[in-house]
Every structure is written in C-alpha cells, then in structure tokens.
Amino acid sequence: MTPTASPSSKSLRASLERRKSAPCVLVTGASGFAGSVIARRLAEGGRRVVALYRRETAFLARLAGVAGVYTLRADLADGLDLPGPFEAVVHAAATSPAPAVDAVRIARDNVTATASLIGAAERWGTRAFVLLSSLSVYGEIRTKVVDEATPIVNPDAYGMSKYLCELMLAARSERLPAIALRLPGVLGPGAHRNWMSRTAAALQAGLTVGAFHLDRPYNNAVHVDDLAAFVASILDRRWTGFDAVVLGAGDAIPLRTAIERLAAGLGVHAVLEEVSAPLPSFTLSSERAISRWGYRPSAIAPLLDRYARDLKASGA
C-alpha cells in the first residue's frame, strides 16, 4: 500500500532541490490517521511535505498521487539521516497503548524518538515544531473543566511519555519554538482507538452502549479536518518559546444527546446503559487555543453529524 516509491535520503534531497520555491515541512506518523490528513492538508495548501512513516497502511495509501508529498520510511528512534533543512516539523508519530505494547516500547517509540527528532530540528534550524500531544498527560482528571492549569495526577506510561516530550520541547524552546496540542478523541474517516469511535462501532453493530455520566455535558472531541486546518494556521505564524494548549469541541451537550445524535446520523437506534463512573465527568476548555492561536473549533453536534457522514461515506 505504499503511495509512492519511498526514496532514499539522497534521492529525496535531489527531488527537494528541484522544488525550492515552496517551504518544506516534515510530518511524522504519515501512515497514521491524523498524520496522513495533516500531510495532505499542508501539501494542498502549497507546502512541500516529507511524510515520514514506519509501516504501510491504508492511511498512507491515501497520500498516493498527492502533489508535493514525498514519503520516506524511517524509524525515528534509530536516529535521523534526512536531507533537511525543514522549516517546520509536525510530530504526529506515536505508539499508543495496546495489549502487546509495554512501557519499554512506549518509552522508545515516543520519548527516544522525539528526542532524536528535536535534536535534528535544532540542527536544521527549524522555526516551528508542532507536537500532537494528548489529554492523557493529565492522568486522573478530577476537575470539572480541563484546561492548561489542570493538575497532572498519576498519568499512565503513554501519558507520561507525552508529557516528557512536552518537557523536552520546553527545555529547548529558546532555540526551537514549539507548541503541544493536547488532544481528546480525534474523529473522522478511519478514526480508531478512542471512546467515540468505539461507540460508533457499537451503534452500527446494534450493541448496547455503556457510558458514564450520560446526562453530564460532553465536548471531548475534535474532527481531524479541524485539527489539520489548525496545524496549517499555526505554521503560518511566527512565534517564540513553548506553549501547550487543550483542544476540544466549541460547546457541550449532554453525553446522552451526543450518542443519540451520532446514532441518528448513522441511521440506527441507540440503546444506552449508564454504568458506574470511576471518576467525575469533565469538559474541555479551548479558550487558550482560541485566544492565543486562533483555533476555530466546531460545535459538538455538527461535529458528530460530520463524523456520521464520514462513516457512511467510507462504508465503515
């Protein structure tokens, strides 16, 4: 499923030398859901994109024939031998929790790999580094509203790995301007490994959906197209230092209403069961991202409508 013949560093350098007129961005995790969409969006906006990937996937195949995208297979944790320089880096690559994934692998793929990438970005003189981080950095959330000041309490190995990546960027911020996007579930065609995508699969299968706090407000989602547009707008800016921002939907509706809205969009009936909640519910505040960075979040209801259309169009 490789979209183009993946070039060597030498042939990639030659290709980029012939096309110096447009700025060049390195996007890691291009074989993943979010990384592939971001790479396409940046290329369609006129940037040259080197799309780094570790394995061939259906997401990578979607980049086939996209003008301005050059794919390259590499493992960041093994070190980088890329031609550079890159004016910006969008770091979407990460290893998430899974049954066969232990803390050692998470540390290697997330922390060691990011340290290698930061070192390379400093050598290239990169002017902007965007890290796709996660709400998992907060660990056990006990506040009603999550923002950048929410305490970090007992994060798991994945959450700690993302937080360490943020700390490394903060420590290098005098030389490498960076921003970390603390993401909730990212929705869109091919979304997986988050609660709402699993809920969509359960609805489509006619299963009962068990959920906490059905009558509490919910806005814990971002559409991948909104995320890609935000990343593109960030790269249009110039800034100094390091920042971390929380992203969520633009408003909140009761979780019960959200699930029923998604079910209606899918053309199915929602059977819901409220289950015991181990932790309080919370909503997300994107105020910092909106006021400082120009983030334009979708409202949650139309976001879920769009996700339902994505699923129906893809046949998922």
Catalytic positions, written as ranges: 158
Which residues, listed in sequence order, are joined to residue 88 by a DSSP beta bridge?
25, 128
At residue 145's C-alpha, the angle toward residues 142 and 147, to 5°, is 105
Name all contacts of 54-60 with Cβ < 8 Å and 24+ positions apart: 54/93, 55/31, 56/1, 56/2, 56/31, 57/1, 57/31, 57/32, 58/1, 58/190, 59/30, 59/31, 59/32, 59/33, 59/35, 59/190, 60/1, 60/2, 60/3, 60/30, 60/31, 60/36
Q: What is d(CA 136, CA 78) in angstroms, rounded to the nearest whole number?
A: 26
Neighbour-count burial for 111-141, b at 16+ CB within 10 Å, e otherwise: bebbbbbbebbeebebbbbbbbbbbbbbbeb
Q: What is the DSSP code string of 241-259?
A: SEEEEE---SS-EEHHHHH
